[in-house]
């Protein structure tokens, strides 16, 4: 049974603070060749341009060992109560496959439960795609609209956008377009649905509790819009729910069907559950969704490797922790050189900041070291023409996580000025890594690049369903390892509660004086 | 003539470091009522929940005075060489109106030059919208595609999305849809153009230099795609250029028409020039674009006010500098409670990080204090279900900039559980401000909110063209005041150059050894 201790109670952390980091201005071609780890699904993780040398690597490995990270990952995968705050298991890995012993909870084999839901989702999606399942109008479904917020939105949306053009290139047929409504801002739903044909649109209503205020409000909004635009339509008959079995959305029996998750799948870890499964299987086919799961499972298995030199997620986690807690860098940028990953940074922002933005350890005691960083990002090469200025020459160091692919998704390309677009894209990516790390001197300090700005790179052959699944799971596992090393609970989110309580006070007409003043300023009376 | 000196050479900065900040857990309703400043276009700036008390305010005012910020703003507006690195004037304010004396450069009245371009853009856009100007096919234009990157993309795109639903609500006719191609990733252009009818699409090619690699590559890509999809089409005849008069794009005479900017309009400050003007005037009509300019000019004029207590941009700038350089907080989040502002944070990210992510002063000498912060953000309420956890309970304080509106753009709304969506949206916003500032104690430290997390709020009546113009200019002026107070040059971007040079080395086949190693890893040989 592993022991849980704060980071500051480990010998490896103390040793790490006394170790001199590698100065990445000394980046060598040998490092690029040697310092990489196969991840899964044709992805490779490169950490040549990070502050890691032999001594740092030694200490990072010792830290992973002393904090028993692999043993704790195994505990988690085998059903220990790792969400200590809410006293829950943490089972998103089981959505993708079995990693260890069966998890039996209250007599139920959890893996079997998830697989059964996947089978039901696959059957439903296949029926929609074949036309066996039609809208009540008799029309075939052409559009699927997901209504959900937070983890019920960001992960599924990022995955959908990641594969939309890939599906086109592969000739996936039929092409059912997915859209997403999340914000309680009424302009959001109105805009997303402005040109939707309600008589050929399937709705997926996603809320684990069945009580998410934004989602239920948007459901009502959509129903009223439908009643105006397609009078007489009964939207419930073309809406499926994704929720927990005991929620009001499940027990009402009001919807065409319901697919289930449970409390052991956290919102930000739910993209590979029915939360992402229904919309992605309807849009691309259940076999494509299965390929995402396969890629994720391969990354989950790779993360079980005890040797940090062969475990990309563990290495990535320990380097990130070193940069954040020892070297003191407060933010991390995620920079995919792939337009299809345009919303992947937003998903990772939630995944990382909601999981590890904590100030207490897993037992609820305050910690006295920096935990999760601010995470942000946009696709390259756009960022190069925007915020990279600060990353190159600003007064703070911001570690970078690059993602790139050898081939484009569509394979459509053009040659201009002696090279293709894809070649230019990757030439830019290579150039940035070296520019950040090595820098360049100049007599004019304004044109001087100090360098010393570290980055990692995940490179794949092409952004396929397996690759995006592996990418998703890699970051989930990285965040998990960091949380375990910091000895925090990465699986609750008490920080979102106070805002909900105060919102109710405003809407209930009993706000405190400061709140009443702001409500008045905002026209809420 | 104002004196330029580093922040650390001012008495006010030293005094500010010795001043005790206001603890925002003591937020009172009186502060909410009193600490607000009318901005422009029905916008109000509230700074009740910031670390400002009477002493801090006094020092911030002294700092603005000692650094002669208003006088320097006037210098800039009247044509001083404020972009010292590139020895250029900085004239984006002139795009919106005259703020002081005429700016005559090499015999040309600059305001007249910009107005003349605006007149030409307006005339062209009106012809497109009336059908007097058609595609070479004889079709009326239904779509306008902007090809540009960085400032030629983010600002215009943010403004377009901000007003797309507003235009629908107002019944703006015709509705010409705008799309944007930016990334050199070939999948980007292919996806954006996948369902475009080339025979009714106008292209706007934007590059100040006329040599931007990504933009010229995308132009070629689009031409080849058009040749495949609409054989025989001559795309040049339905493409207009936005560029400088001396650029190859202007002198070639290859395009249907060309509209001009010059070196005194920086990319990230160009949304109110022809860079944003063509696409926005074609999409919404030149009179709507003029309303954006009017809102921006009103904010520019408001920023001329010498009394910091009456100048929202100056107050916002000094508070941000205080939080960044004195209190040491490294990042800022921009959180609009309006889905229409979904890409506004990305624009502000460029505006702020590219302008003030600098380590040398305006004379090229290194500075020894923190300059521009990391800027990121997403629309609320989505962020509440995502990264707000870290903002509430993480180990770092992240100052927040909220934006909200009394009314939605579309005015379509629904009542659920006793309140409308718009009411819920703003109740959430009020609740978050108070939750971040005041916090809440709890016996369980995991449910404890320390509070003390500051925020500002810009609140408007409705997101109109005037409001979005004022919002844009407010942040431009905030960033300008901060750069002047830090004594840096906010108008160059030398930090983007090294990446371009190294990219050329890769594409030219002569990379150094580290670069060659990364190029090989990325399949560029």
B contact residues 169-228, partner A, Cβ 8 Å cutoff: 182-188, 190-191, 194, 213-214, 216-218, 220-221, 224-225
Rounded-to-integer distance, Cα A417 and Cα A438, Å: 27
ipTM surpasses cut 0.90: yes
- What is the rounded CA–CA span in Å between residue A310 and residue A243? 38
Distance CA(B295)–CA(B487), nearest Å, equals 28
Q: How confident is the model over A189-211, as pLDDT tens digits?
A: 999 999 999 999 999 999 999 99
Q: What is the pLDDT of residue B413?
A: 87
What is the distance between the alpha carbons of residues A183 and B325, in angstroms, rounded to a whole number? Answer: 34
- Name which of B28, B154, B168 is nearest A514 (Cβ-Cβ): B28
Interface mutation target, options A332, A389, A406, A459, chain B, most CBs of B under 10 Å: A389
Q: Which residues of A are less than 8 Å from B501 in CB distance?
A: 431
Q: Distance (Å, rounded) from C-alpha B219 to C-alpha B221? A: 5
Q: Residue A54's pLDDT is what?
A: 98
With a cut of 90, say whether residue B495 has pLDDT above it: yes
Tell me: pLDDT of B380 over 90. Answer: no
Q: Would you say residue A482 has pLDDT above 90?
A: yes
Confidence of residue B381 (pLDDT cuts 50, 70, 90): confident
Q: Who's near B216: CB < 8 A, 6+ residues apart?
A: A416, A417, B207
Binary contact (A521, B364; C-beta < 8 A): no
Coil/strand/helix, residue A407: coil
Residue A378 — very low, low, confident or very high, per pLDDT cuts 50/70/90?
very high
CB of B487 within 8 Å of any CB in chain A?
no
List, in order, residues 6 or more apart from A383 with CB less than 8 Å away: A333, A335, A377
Indicate yes or no: CB of B190 within 8 angstroms of CB of A267. Answer: no
> Which H/E stretch holds residue B336?
strand B331-336
B131 and B139 Cβ atoms separated by less than 8 Å: no
What is the average pLDDT across A285-314? 98
- Percent of chain B at pLDDT exceeding 90: 95
Interface touch B390/A449, C-beta < 8 Å: no
Q: A145-174 burial string, b = 16+ CB within 10 Å, else e?
A: bbbbbbbbbbbbbbbbbbbbbbbbbeebee
Contact between B185 and A408 using a beta-carbon 8 Å cutoff: yes
Q: Which of A327, A522, A525 to mutate to test the interface with B (most CBs of B within 10 A)?
A: A522
Cis amide linkage into residue A174, ω under 30° from 0: yes
Residue of A380, A368, A370, A352 whose CA lies nearest to A436: A380
What domains does chain A contain, in order, with CATH numbers?
7-95+304-492 (3.40.50.10490), 104-291 (3.40.50.10490), 495-525 (no CATH)
The answer to whether A376 and B348 have CB atoms below 8 angstroms apart is no
Residues forming a β-bridge with A333:
A376, A400
Q: How confident is the model at residue B414 (pLDDT cuts 50, 70, 90)?
A: confident
Residue with tokens 């403004």: B159
Of the candidates B48, B348, B466, which has an alpha carbon nearest to the alpha carbon of residue A522?
Answer: B48
0.80 exceeded by pTM: yes
Q: Inspect the interface and report whether the beta carbons of A379 and B499 lie closer than 8 Å.
A: no
pLDDT of A266 strictly over 90? yes
Please answer whether residues B367 and A396 qualify as being in contact, where contact means their C-beta atoms are separated by less than 8 angstroms: no
User: Among A276, A292, A237, which Cα is nearest to A121's?
Assistant: A276
Neighbours of A246 (CB within 10 A): 12
The partner residue sitting opposite A435, judged by closest CB among B29, B499, B523, is: B499
The rounded distance, in Å, linking the Cα atoms of B370 and A395 is 6
pLDDT band at A381 (very low <50, low <70, confident <90, very high): confident
- Average pLDDT score, chain A: 96
Residue A413 has pLDDT above 90, yes or no: no
Question: Residue B468: is its pLDDT beyond 90?
Answer: yes
Phi, psi of B24 (to 5 degrees): -70, -5
| Chain segment A91-150, per-residue pLDDT in tens | 999 999 999 999 999 999 999 999 999 999 999 999 999 999 999 999 999 999 999 999
B32 at interface of A, judged by CB pairs closer than 8 A = yes
CA atoms of B75 and B72, how far apart (whole Å): 5
- Would the CB atoms of B506 and A427 count as touching at under 8 Å? yes
Q: CA–CA separation, A91 vs B108, rounded Å? A: 69
* Average pLDDT rounded to a whole number, residues B306-331: 98
Min Cα–Cα distance to chain A from B83, Å: 12
Could you tell me how many CB contacts below 8 A there are between chain A and chain B?
A: 505
Cβ-contact B93, B84 below 8 angstroms = no
Half-sphere exposure of A486 (CA within 13 A, CB side): 35
Contact residues on chain A for B430, CB-CB shorter than 8 A: 502, 506, 511, 515, 518-519, 521-522, 524
Q: Which residue of B has its CA nearest to A413?
A: B186
Rounded distance between C-alpha atoms, residue B258 and residue B199, angstroms: 20
- pLDDT score, position B412: 85
Which of A152, A248, A356, A390 is the best residue to mutate to test the B interface, defined by the most B CB atoms within 10 Å of its own CB?
A390
What are the pLDDT digits (tens) for B92-104?
999 999 999 999 9
3-state helix, strand, coil in chain B (%, to 5): 50, 15, 35
Q: What is the pLDDT of residues A216-259, one digit of tens each?
A: 999 999 999 999 999 999 999 999 999 999 999 999 999 999 99
Q: How many CA atoms lie within 13 A of A103 on its CB side?
A: 26
- Over residues B177-187, the mean pLDDT reads 93
Nearest to A514 among B221, B385, B434 (CB): B434
Residues of A in contact with B357 (CB under 8 A): 387, 389-394
The yes-or-no verdict on residue B372 having pLDDT over 90 is: yes
Question: Cα distance from A521 to chain B (closest Cα, Å)?
Answer: 8
Residue A430 contacts B where some CB pair is shorter than 8 Å: yes
CA distance B107 to chain A (A): 31
Looking only at the bridges linking them, the beta strands covering A104-105 and B257-261 are: unpaired
State mean pLDDT over B137-152: 97
Average pLDDT over chain B reads 96
- The pLDDT, as a whole number, for residue B148 is 96
Instruction: Indicate yes or no: CB of A187 within 8 angstroms of CB of B153.
Output: no
- As given in the structure block, the two tokens for residue A2 are 């592993």
Rounded mean pLDDT, B391-406: 97
Chain A nearest-CA residue for B48: A518
pLDDT over 90 (residue A320)? yes
Q: Give the rounded percent of residues in chain B with a pLDDT score beyond 70.
A: 100
With residue B239 as reference, give the H or E element that holds it.
strand B239-244
Please name the residues in contact with A443: beta carbons below 8 A apart, sequence gap of 6 or more. Answer: none
On whether any CB of chain A is under 8 Å from the CB of B476, the answer is no
A437-480 pLDDT, tens digit per residue, is: 999 999 999 999 999 999 999 999 999 999 999 999 999 999 99
Nearest-Cα residue of chain B relative to residue A45? B521
Residue A411 has what pLDDT? Answer: 87
**CA–CA dist A480, A489 (Å, integer):** 9
Pairing of strands A44-46, A36-38: antiparallel
Model confidence at B173, pLDDT cuts 50, 70, 90, reads very high
Residue B411 has pLDDT above 90, yes or no: no
pLDDT the model gives residue A3: 98
H or E segment and range at residue B190:
helix B186-192
Q: Which pLDDT does position A388 carry in this prediction?
A: 97
A496/B385 touch (CB, cutoff 8 Å), yes or no: yes
Q: Judge whether B372 is closer than 8 Å to chain A, CB to CB.
A: yes
| Percentage of the residues of chain A whose pLDDT score is greater than 90 | 95
Beta strands in B399-523 (DSSP E): 400-405, 415-416, 419-420, 455-460
Cis omega (within 30 of 0) for bond into B174: yes
Please judge whether A386 and B349 are an interchain contact, meaning their C-beta atoms are less than 8 angstroms apart.
yes
pLDDT score of B264:
98
The answer to whether A517 contacts B29, with C-beta atoms less than 8 Å apart, is: yes
What region, left, alpha or beta, does residue A487 occupy, with left being phi > 0 and alpha being psi -120 to 50 degrees? Answer: left
CA angle A280, A376, A457 (to 5 degrees): 80
C-alpha A364/C-alpha A6 separation (Å) is 12
Length of chain A: 525
Say whether pLDDT at A414 is over 90.
Answer: no
Count of residues in chain B = 525
**Closest chain A residue to the Cα of B84, Cα to Cα:** A446
Distances (CA, A) of B404 to A427, B241, B341, B422, B462: 41, 36, 10, 10, 9
Q: Using an 8 Å Cβ cutoff, are A175 and A167 in contact?
A: yes
Q: CB distance from B327 to chain A under 8 Å?
A: no
Rounded to whole angstroms, how far apart are CA atoms A191 and B408? 12
Rounded to a whole number of angstroms, the distance from the CA of B460 to the nearest CA of chain A is: 9
Query: What is the distance, to the nearest Å, from the Cα of residue A352 to the centroid of all Cα atoms in its chain?
Result: 8
Instruction: List, by residue number, the catalytic residues of A.
Output: 354, 385, 500
B260 vs B31: CA distance, rounded Å: 47
Each residue's pLDDT tens digit, B255-264 = 999 999 999 9
Q: From CA B159, how far away is CA B276, in angstroms rounded?
A: 8
> Is the pLDDT confidence value at A525 over 90?
no
**pLDDT for res B525:** 81
Q: Rounded to an integer, what distance in angstroms lies between the CA atom of residue A87 and that of residue B158?
A: 43
Tell me which chain B residues have a C-beta less than 8 angstroms from the C-beta of A395.
Answer: 358-359, 367, 369-372
């Amino acid at each position: 049974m592993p022991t849980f201790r704060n980071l500051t109670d480990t010998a490896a952390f103390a040793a790490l603070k006394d170790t001199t980091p590698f100065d990445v201005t000394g980046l060598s071609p040998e490092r690029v060749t040697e310092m990489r780890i196969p991840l899964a699904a044709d992805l490779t993780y490169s950490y040549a341009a990070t502050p890691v040398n032999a001594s740092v690597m030694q200490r990072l490995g010792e830290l992973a060992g002393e904090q028993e990270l692999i043993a704790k990952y195994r505990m988690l995968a085998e059903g220990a109560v790792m969400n200590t705050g809410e006293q829950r298991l943490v089972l998103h890995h089981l959505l993708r496959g079995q990693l260890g012993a069966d998890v039996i909870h209250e007599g139920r084999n959890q893996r079997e439960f998830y697989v059964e839901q996947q089978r039901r989702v696959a059957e439903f999606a296949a029926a929609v795609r074949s036309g066996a399942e039609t809208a009540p109008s008799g029309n075939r479904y052409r559009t699927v609209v997901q209504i959900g917020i937070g983890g019920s939105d960001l992960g599924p949306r990022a995955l959908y956008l990641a594969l939309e053009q890939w599906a086109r290139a592969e000739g996936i047929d039929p092409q059912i377009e997915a859209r997403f409504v999340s914000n309680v801002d009424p302009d959001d739903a109105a805009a997303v649905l402005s040109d939707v044909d309600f008589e050929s649109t399937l709705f997926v209503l996603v809320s684990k509790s069945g009580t998410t205020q934004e989602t239920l409000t948007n459901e009502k909004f959509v129903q009223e819009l439908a009643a105006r635009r397609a009078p007489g339509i009964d939207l419930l008959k073309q809406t499926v729910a994704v929720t927990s079995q005991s929620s009001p959305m499940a027990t009402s029996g009001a919807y065409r069907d319901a697919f289930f998750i449970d409390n052991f799948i956290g919102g930000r870890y739910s993209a590979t559950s029915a939360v992402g499964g229904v919309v992605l299987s309807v849009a691309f086919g259940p076999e494509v969704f299965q390929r995402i799961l396969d890629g994720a499972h391969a990354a989950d298995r790779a993360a079980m490797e005890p040797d940090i030199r062969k475990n990309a997620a563990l290495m990535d986690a320990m380097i990130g922790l070193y940069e954040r807690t020892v070297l003191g860098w407060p933010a991390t940028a995620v920079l995919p050189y792939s337009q299809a990953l345009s919303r992947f940074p937003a998903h990772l922002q939630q995944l990382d900041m909601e999981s590890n933005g904590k100030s207490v350890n897993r037992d609820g005691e305050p910690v006295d070291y920096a935990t999760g960083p601010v995470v942000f990002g946009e696709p390259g090469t756009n960022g190069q023409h925007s915020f990279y200025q600060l990353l190159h020459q600003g007064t703070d160091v911001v570690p970078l996580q690059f993602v790139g692919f050898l081939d484009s998704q569509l394979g459509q390309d053009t040659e201009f000025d002696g090279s293709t677009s894809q070649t230019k894209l990757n030439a830019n990516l290579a150039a940035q890594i070296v520019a950040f790390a090595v820098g360049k001197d100049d007599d004019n300090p304004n044109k001087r690049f100090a360098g010393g700005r570290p980055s990692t790179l995940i490179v794949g052959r092409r952004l396929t369903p397996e690759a995006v699944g592996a990418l998703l799971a890699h970051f989930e596992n990285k965040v998990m390892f960091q949380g375990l090393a910091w000895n925090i609970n990465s699986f609750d989110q008490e920080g979102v509660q106070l805002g909900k309580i105060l919102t109710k006070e405003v809407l209930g007409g009993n706000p405190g004086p400061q709140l009443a003043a702001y409500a008045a300023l905002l026209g809420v009376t």
